[in-house]
Structure 1
Amino acid sequence: MQYKAHDYQEYAKEEIIKKKACGLFLEPGLGKTVITLSAIWELMFDYFEISKVLVIAPLRVAENTWTEELEKWDHLTFLRISKVLGSEKERIEALKTPADIYVINRENVAWLCKLCDWDFDMLVIDELSSFKNPSSKRFKALRKKRPGIDRVVGLTGTPSTNGLMDLWSEIYLLDQGKRLGKTIGSYRADFFVPDRMNGYIVYSYKPRPGAEEFIYSLLSDLCVSMKSRDFLEIPERLERDVKVKLPETAKGIYKEMEREMVAKFTDKTIDAVNAAVLTNKLIQMASGAVYDDQGNTAELHSSKLDALEDLIEAANGKPVLIYYNYRHERSRINERFKDAVEIKTPEDFKAWNKGEISIAMAHPASMGHGLNLQHGGSTVIWFSLPWSLELYSQANARLWRQGQKDTVVIFRLLAEGTIDRDVARALEKKDITQEALMQAVKARVTDG
């Protein structure tokens, strides 16, 4: 297929070529893979600046997306790709295979960094936000290799899903600490103050007055932000919160658990040893069931299933994609709706896009990156919400992206008087911070 780059794609490509380190904060659907591949092609065959590229990506993206994009476009014909996946033996063989681009999943980054041979002159981190934890093995391993890499590109549409603290390790892999400091400690001390505390124990930090704007200004020459709605004609996206009323008995048990951190029903005792466990239990109880200490499921109510049934009936045969967060949610949904299909394989994705699945289920963690599902439907239903803005945003973007022809409607089932509303508020608060960052480093691309 012939590639005709949009102006914004040409702009982004030139940013990669021009800068030794570049962060592209591109929302899903803007074509960040083909943009990056086009830049690699020119750097390799026009400028002769690189000869061997490493791409780190989520497993599903590493398996499919980069190869599919390479095969799709005519101008990328001469690029050779090798997928460093599978068993250790298979990965080693893939590294020995002559190629221009080597793609590896992020779970094997630490393994790759231990190998003696490290002759990549360009690194592409697809989903840079997966390196936001400075304590992770993958970040620590890659940090040691970073000085020997001439060019680095970081790709993500969700750079700061949990707030500005996420940015330090992501930006460090790009500029080695030039803008936000050499350590997470110095970054924290320079730009943040304690927020939630218990004595000397600090649970969270908040930006100092003026820190957000200063951080954005520091990143303005390094990062480029682009939002789909600014460059593509995509349908409207609507979010609809569906209030779910719990039965009085279930509400009483929920409040008991919330107050006492222990509750008993259906001959099972549910307890929480700390606040984190309690939060997890309350989210489950709001959705209608909860795991006990032995991993068995105790059912509390069916209110969300009833609300889900109403939404499916109102869809009148129109395909719906249901996101769940716990196995017992999947089981209960499947029990109520016998024709519901969990989509998780390439064959399932194709069947969905062909319109062959009317009720689909998926866990957001398995749907986050690199999947195009916009051709199979336009209705999303969240049975329960995740805490992670990245999971939430990326999962919604599977349907709300370029190529979608209908208005995308996202329904969120929220049990009244429960933690559901707190999770929804937390996602909205995180999105405000991320939106500010995206706007601050937004690319100014003019047509013509």
Structure 2
Amino acid sequence: MNFTPHLYQTHATRHIIEHRAAALLLDMGLGKTVATLTAISDLMHDYYDVAKVLVIAPKRVAEDTWSREAEKWDHTRYLRISKVLGSQKERLKALEQDAHIYIINRENVEWLVDHYKTKWPFDMVVIDELSSFKSSKSKRFRALRKVRPYIDRVVGLTGTPAPNGLLDLWPQMYLLDKGERLGRTLTAYRDKYFIPGARKGHIVYNWNLKHGAEKKIYERIGDIAISMKAKDHLKLPERVDNVVPVRMDHETRKRYKQLERDYLLPFAGEADVVADTAAVLSNKLVQLANGAVYNENDEVQELHSLKLDALEEIQEQGKPILVFYKYKHDLERIKARFKQVRTLDKPKDIEDWNAGKIEMLLAHPASAGHGLNLQDGGSTVVWFGLTWSLEEYQQANARLHRQGQKQTVVVHHLVTQGTIDQDIMTALDRKANGQNALLDAVKARLERIQTEGTSDEHNENCHQEL
């Protein structure tokens, strides 16, 4: 197919060619992959500036997206791509292949760095989904940091560079410019642009931007980073968001409230609930809302099948459905209820979905959130289990709601009434910071449990006096 780039894609390609450190902070659907492949082709065979390229990507994107995109266009079809995936033996064999581009999943970056050490062979590295390197403590960041001095060109691609706030930006920018713009250490960056927020002793739980800091940060990285929003450049299909209320009957609600109380009550008297504790409690509450929970013996305790019933009603409409689940027991319960389903595991699943051969495709948003093109197989999304992560939520929905989709996209959210589902839905609607919203929601439920406990004790004392 002949590639006729949009003006913004030409701009993105020129930006990569003209900057040895380049960030494309482009919204989903704007064609980051083809713009980058075009730049690679030009740098190799017009400018003779690049010889060997490494692409680091999420696993499913590494398996499918880059090779499929390269094969799609006439001007990039000649590029030889070697996928450094699978067992160690398979990865080593892939590295020995004569190719233009080598693609590896981000989980194997540490292995790759250890394999080559100071004999790093790639003069250009493309980090597809740069935001997955947002933690300076992660092994993948530390590994890539070691070999950064040996890399001549680095390109970072993402639509969500700071999903949890601008503190996430430093590790990503460091991998591009080695600390030239935002400082050589996270501490220096933090001290310059942030002030401590909530804290307990020496532990700071969150950092707040200083006045005017956001503008200064963007100005500092403005020369190497370009940012574009899809709404400014694409005419996307209509998207309809639909909340499907899931209502518990009296007995189910009674059981739910007792289990919720059992999980929360041990923490109700604590003066401060830290983020880790809140995350654990939230997981339990979300599981309960979905209809099943792992008990202390890691066994599945089923509470209700109401979300399965709601999913069945949507399925009866006869359209292909992309279903996002959250827990393994969600997956198993869906597969037990619906026989004609497929789990998104392999490139073949993507191919069959886009060919219209799958009625219901089950996917976890964390593994299907970036770079996968699923818009040809259907236009209906169902969130069986909700996520606090706004980035995960937006990226997952964009698998169908993207350029090339020919139908109105309907996104159904199964929301169990009276549960933490409603808190998550509110946070997503407000585009709130997931971690802060999670903490606030759990604290509110703990306060309610504590209030109910005090009320029960008061009633019991009154009863005894009578």
Q: Same fold (TM over 0.5)?
A: yes
Deviating more after overlay: 340-349 vs 10-19? 340-349
Pair 1:70–1:352, CA change in 2 (3 A): closer
Q: Which of 125, 132, 135 is the aligned partner of 1:133?
A: 135
Q: Number of aligned residue pairs: give it.
A: 422
1:300 match: 303
2:447 match: none
In structure 1, give the amino acid aligned to 2:17.
I
1:50 and 2:50 aligned: yes
Distance in 1 separating the partners of 2:35 and 2:164 = 27
Q: Which of 174, 177, 196 is the aligned partner of 1:172?
A: 174
The TM-score with structure 1 as length reference comes to: 0.88
Pair 1:284–1:229, CA change in 2 (3 A): same
1:109 and 2:112 aligned: no
**Alpha carbons 2:26, 2:159 under 8 Å: kept:** yes
Shift of 1:217: 2.3
1:373 match: 374
1:286 and 2:289 aligned: yes
Structure 1 unaligned regions, length at least 5: 264-272, 434-448
Deviation per CA, 1:412-434: give whole Å up to 9, x if none: 1122222212323444455689x
Q: Which of 273, 278, 289 is the aligned partner of 1:275?
A: 278
In structure 2, give the amino acid aligned to 1:421.
Q
Shift of 1:350: 2.6
SS at 2:372's partner residue? coil
Distance in 1 separating the partners of 2:264 and 2:86 = 44
- Give matches, 1:112-123, under 5 Å: 112-114=112-114, 115-116=116-117, 117-123=119-125
2:37 match: 37
Pair 1:242–1:72, CA change in 2 (3 A): same
Distance in 1 separating the partners of 2:212 and 2:298 = 47
Q: Which has the larger radius of gyration?
A: 2
Distance in 2 separating the partners of 1:377 and 1:78 = 31
- Give matches, 1:190-201, under 5 Å: 190-201=192-203
Pair 1:393–1:284, CA change in 2 (3 A): same
The TM-score with structure 2 as length reference comes to: 0.84
**Alpha carbons 1:132, 1:166 under 8 Å: kept:** yes
Identity in percent: 56
Pair 1:53–1:204, CA change in 2 (3 A): same
**Alpha carbons 1:234, 1:405 under 8 Å: kept:** no
In structure 2, give the amino acid aligned to 1:132.
K
Distance in 1 separating the partners of 2:257 and 2:342 = 34
1:401 match: 402
Distance in 2 separating the partners of 1:183 and 1:340 = 48
Deviation per CA, 1:251-283: give whole Å up to 9, x if none: 3444444444269xxxxxxxxx94332111011
**Alpha carbons 2:65, 2:373 under 8 Å: kept:** no
Aligned-pair Cα RMSD in Å: 2.3
Pair 1:369–1:138, CA change in 2 (3 A): same
Q: Which of 231, 234, 248 is the aligned partner of 1:232?
A: 234
Shift of 1:378: 0.8
Structure 2 unaligned regions, length at least 5: 266-275, 435-466
SS at 2:319's partner residue? coil
**Alpha carbons 2:52, 2:123 under 8 Å: kept:** yes
2:187 match: 185
Pair 1:335–1:85, CA change in 2 (3 A): closer
Distance in 2 separating the partners of 1:428 and 1:290 = 26
